[in-house]
Amino acid sequence: MKLLKLVPDNTNIGFVAIRKWAFALTALLTVLAVGATAHKGLNLGVDFVGGLMIEAKFPQAVDTDKVRSTIGRLGVGESSLQQFGDANTVQIRLPLPDQGGAGAANAVVEKTRQAMVAQFPGVTFSRYDTVSGKVSGELIQNGVLAVVLAILGIAVFSWFRYEWQFGVSTFVAIVHDVLMTLGFFAITQLEFDLNIIAAVLTIVGYSINDKMVIDDRIRENMRKYRKMDMKALIDLSVNETLPRTVMTSVTILLALGALLLLGGHVLRGFTAAMMLGIIVGTYSSVYVSSSLLISLGLTPQTSDKKAAKKGDYAGTAERVGPRDDGAKP
Amino acid sequence: MLNFSRWAVFAIILPLAIGVLCAVPSFLPDSVVTKLPGFMQTRVNLGLDLSGGSHLLLEASTQDVAKQRLTNMEEQVRTELRRGDPRIAIGDISSRDGKLSFMVRDPSQVDAAVERIRPLTQGAGLTGQRDFNVEVVNSSTIVITPTEAGIKNAVKSAMEVSTEVIRRRIDEMGTREPTIQQQGDNRIVVQVPGLQDPKALKALLGQTAKLEFKLVDTTANPSEVAQGRAPVGSEVLPYVNNPSGVPFIAVKRQVMVSGEDLTDATQGYDQSNQAIVNIRFNSSGGRKFGQVTSQNVNRPFAIILDGKVLSAPNINEPILGGSAQVSGSFTVESANQLAIALRSGKLPVNFVVVEERTVGPGLGADSIRAGLIASVVAVVAVAVFMFVSYGRFGMYANLAVAINVLVILGVMGILGATLTLPGIAGFVLTIGTAVDANVLIYERIREERRRGRNVVAAIEHGYKEASRTIFEANVTHAIAGGIMLALGSGPVKGFAIVLLIGIATSVFTAVTFTRMVVANWVRRTRPTDIHI
């Protein structure tokens, strides 16, 4: 049986040579993403803005305008409706009543339910969330904090582990990945809720993973070929790891694709974000972060100095994985 | 690397076998699992988004606690100074801006007053911290200020009591496996699987259920009561169902009997078939109630719940049996709720629902089904892809992934962790990482073979070099996962739990386990070339 090889042996693509183009394209896309986020804004879910979210399931396809007018007559504030999943499911968003606290929110749900049942017999509320402004503020704060801390924590880790250039290039690439994801949500206006924060954190984790693998190889080659030109060395490292980069991305995209198509509507935004993140993350690993090392002035000598200073550090790294536990050959 | 000692093999197989075994109960129906011995009942709980149910986040008003304490303090100061010997006359009592201040009429008694108050302000804790500060202003006014530590302690104990009371109330409702947990300083999370309509639950948690019996002040002037003024020693309380039409009534401040003296409360009916709550006092409560009712035959008394008068029946004869009826325009449902609330004790503080999420059982079931189908398809797709790419080695990786999934479920079962919808997504991603570890190793072996190393050396090198990278990648993942677990709420947390468990188990299955399997194969067949 002939085994599948997505990337042929001895592939040698000159990634470093085209880095100026890649940087320009990346910068352009990032600016576009930031612009889109600033201009259109994110479609923040009730988790982050507070309010009331009802998911109503109708026995047959329903006209959202009719639903809107039914709710409009109740005087419970301006509703925003969205077809969700299929034609039978509508997501209704309402503002929280200004006064009256929890009881009032409950009354709104009840009122809406009665009016809807009267107008559309057989309708059921398959889910509803009420989040007060106070809680939603905290959720935003914690979500943003989690993402920022994760990026910083990982960048610091790779800085201590390698040279500072690796920390900076990883940091830049990760910020790029996050901004692109935000831009995607701004353009598609998919709902941005707590789940998406988990997705963003996973994207960060994965993207880092990619960069670690390549950075690790660059460092290994720097020790192996002390005289090699830095550009050639980075190209060599990226190409050597390319089969793995592509294999892993394809595998994960396969898994996520299954989740996107079959995982139900609740997870759709989550998986879409993740797929985009994997693609963007892979791109930034291959085209941006490693080439950026050259622009940041990484030379084989910097590595030597660090190795001399922390000689045994690199030594222990070799033995980190389980190698000889058990027996000698 | 090809020789794994008997012990090493044992050390690798045993934890995996335990993990897999612990995953088994999650797949069995309820009826079988309950028959298993306790240590085998390691099941993964389904989150509310999968099982359907209600999630409520309750927040206690800390200001309430502080205010309540000040009121209690005022009461204690009054009793201590006015009833004590010698009596110290005080006036101008006011509690404003969270402080209690009063004037001692005779300036020569100020020091004595401070001495008498001092014991009341001492904290109960061992740290010797004061609950209140006492100072003398303008030589005759005493100001009592609660300390930060005092308020903090009070809130802490109020939260502990509340969690317990809420648990009792929900248990009384007969719902299955509720989760009641304190979150942060002043919040409680309540999760009730399978509950469709949290209205009753919220009504139950919304009342503090402070029950008091007080005598009605019949000497009060009705027109003054209507304006909210009561004679000395009495107070005006709202009374919505007052037959006289005025929604207020004057009652004596002194409490006849309170809810603390209850031993039982049940819903019942009176002669006219109206829903009521039957209550039973403990012996001291029954004695007090008997005494007061004997002395006040033919006078009305008020039944007061959470500061509102429910009804004010006449005492027709002394009530000596230690039991009484609480009437007050109840429906069967509301009478039942009150009975539950009274049985479980009063909440020391008021709670507001700040977050509520309810998932219907239909949607939950849909989500489980969709999640399962998607997971199966994802696993099959990945497995086929791995096989096509790496042949025999791909199958080893697939075996490792299958074991990994079971071990994650087993570990979740042991930890009693909850599987949520984002958790399922976490699973899919864990599969991705686990596969990535194998991809790294196999690609490295391919490379080493291309460089001309022999089979054994290539495999050995592949595992060694890739292990370092895998370790580093997993550390970064763990950093992200740890932050999610620490800061995230709800869905983010559910995702992080699976991710973190998966990181730990996948290194073991994807690296150590496959290495053992590969080594075993190489030792048996001694291949001169490998197809990878």
C-beta atoms of B443 and A254 within 8 A: no
- Mutation site, A144, A178, A240, A254, interface B, largest B CB count within 10 A: A254
**Partner residue facing A198 (CB), from B360, B473, B495:** B495
How are strands ordered across the β-sheet holding B308-311?
B234-238, B248-258, B211-216, B301-305, B308-311
A252 to chain B: closest CA residue: B432
* pLDDT bracket for residue A24 (50, 70, 90): very high
* pLDDT bracket for residue A328 (50, 70, 90): very low
- Mutation site, B356, B404, B455, interface A, largest A CB count within 10 A: B356
Ranges A313-327, B120-134, B177-191, B198-212, most confident = B177-191
Q: How many of the other CB atoms lie within 10 Å of CB of A137?
A: 14
Q: Compute the average pLDDT of residues B377-394.
A: 90
Domains and CATH numbers, chain B: 6-52+360-525 (1.20.1640.10), 61-192 (no CATH), 210-343 (3.30.1360.200)
Q: Compute the average pLDDT of residues B307-325.
A: 85
Per-residue pLDDT reduced to its tens digit, B345-374: 888 888 888 888 888 877 777 777 887 888
- Nearest CA distance, B392 vs chain A (angstrom): 10
pLDDT computed for residue A318 by the predictor? 40
In the predicted structure, residue A319 carries a pLDDT above the cut 50 = no
Inform me whether the C-beta atom of residue B372 falls under 8 Å from chain A C-beta atoms. no
C-alpha pair distances (Å), B473 with each of A207, A314, B411: 10, 16, 22
- Nearest CA distance, B275 vs chain A (angstrom): 24
Inform me whether the C-beta atom of residue B367 falls under 8 Å from chain A C-beta atoms. yes
* pLDDT bracket for residue B513 (50, 70, 90): very high
- How far apart CA B283 and CA B288 sit, in angstroms, is 9
In the predicted structure, residue A34 carries a pLDDT above the cut 90 = yes
pLDDT computed for residue A325 by the predictor? 40
In the predicted structure, residue A246 carries a pLDDT above the cut 70 = yes
Of the CA atoms within 13 Å of residue B201, those in its CB half-sphere come to 27
pLDDT computed for residue B356 by the predictor? 85
pLDDT computed for residue A323 by the predictor? 39
pLDDT computed for residue B433 by the predictor? 81
Residues of chain B contacting A177 with CB distance shorter than 8 Å: none
Question: Cα–chain-centroid distance for residue B115?
Answer: 42
* pLDDT bracket for residue A315 (50, 70, 90): very low
Q: Compute the average pLDDT of residues B447-459.
A: 89
Inform me whether the C-beta atom of residue B510 falls under 8 Å from chain A C-beta atoms. no
C-beta atoms of A252 and B353 within 8 A: no
In the predicted structure, residue B73 carries a pLDDT above the cut 60 = yes
C-alpha pair distances (Å), B369 with each of A60, A127, A213, B362, B383: 21, 17, 36, 11, 21
**Partner residue facing A205 (CB), from B358, B464, B477:** B477
> What does the mean pLDDT of chain A come to?
81
pLDDT computed for residue A132 by the predictor? 82
Residues of chain B contacting A322 with CB distance shorter than 8 Å: 467, 511-512, 515
Handedness of CA B23, B26, B27, B32 (dihedral sign): positive
Q: Compute the average pLDDT of residues B444-456.
A: 89
Residue type, A295: S
* pLDDT bracket for residue A85 (50, 70, 90): low
pLDDT computed for residue A327 by the predictor? 41
**E strand segments, B300-451:** 301-305, 308-311, 323-330, 351-359, 418-419
pLDDT computed for residue B335 by the predictor? 85
- Nearest CA distance, B453 vs chain A (angstrom): 16
pLDDT computed for residue A151 by the predictor? 83
Per-residue pLDDT reduced to its tens digit, B187-233: 998 888 877 777 778 877 877 788 888 899 888 888 888 888 888 77
| In contact, B377 and A258? CB cutoff 8 Å | yes
- How far apart CA B285 and CA B256 sit, in angstroms, is 9
Reduced to 3 states, what is the DSSP secondary structure of residue A96?
Answer: coil
Q: Which residue has the higher pLDDT, B75 or A316?
A: B75
Q: Which two tokens stand for residue A205?
A: 């984790």
Q: Which DSSP state fits B138? A: T
Inform me whether the C-beta atom of residue B515 falls under 8 Å from chain A C-beta atoms. yes
Domains and CATH numbers, chain A: 19-43+136-309 (1.20.1640.10), 51-131 (3.30.70.3400)
In the predicted structure, residue A305 carries a pLDDT above the cut 60 = no
**Partner residue facing B425 (CB), from A106, A139, A259:** A259
**Partner residue facing B363 (CB), from A127, A149, A216:** A127
pLDDT computed for residue A237 by the predictor? 92
**Partner residue facing A258 (CB), from B378, B468, B499:** B378
ipTM greater than 0.90: no
Q: How many helices (H) and strands (E) does chain B have?
A: 16, 18
Q: Compute the average pLDDT of residues A276-298.
A: 89
In the predicted structure, residue B150 carries a pLDDT above the cut 90 = no
Question: Cα–chain-centroid distance for residue B463?
Answer: 46
Q: Compute the average pLDDT of residues A115-136.
A: 83
**Partner residue facing A325 (CB), from B8, B432, B471:** B8
pLDDT computed for residue A55 by the predictor? 86
C-beta atoms of A321 and B202 within 8 A: no
**Partner residue facing B476 (CB), from A212, A244, A324:** A212
> What stretch of H or E contains A86?
strand A86-94
* pLDDT bracket for residue A279 (50, 70, 90): very high
Residues of chain A contacting B355 with CB distance shorter than 8 Å: 129-132, 135
Name the percent of chain B lying above pLDDT 70: 97
Q: Which residue has the higher pLDDT, B160 or A107?
A: B160
C-beta atoms of B450 and A9 within 8 A: yes
Per-residue pLDDT reduced to its tens digit, B394-445: 999 999 999 998 999 899 888 888 888 778 778 877 888 888 899 999 999 9
C-beta atoms of B472 and A124 within 8 A: no
pLDDT computed for residue A65 by the predictor? 84
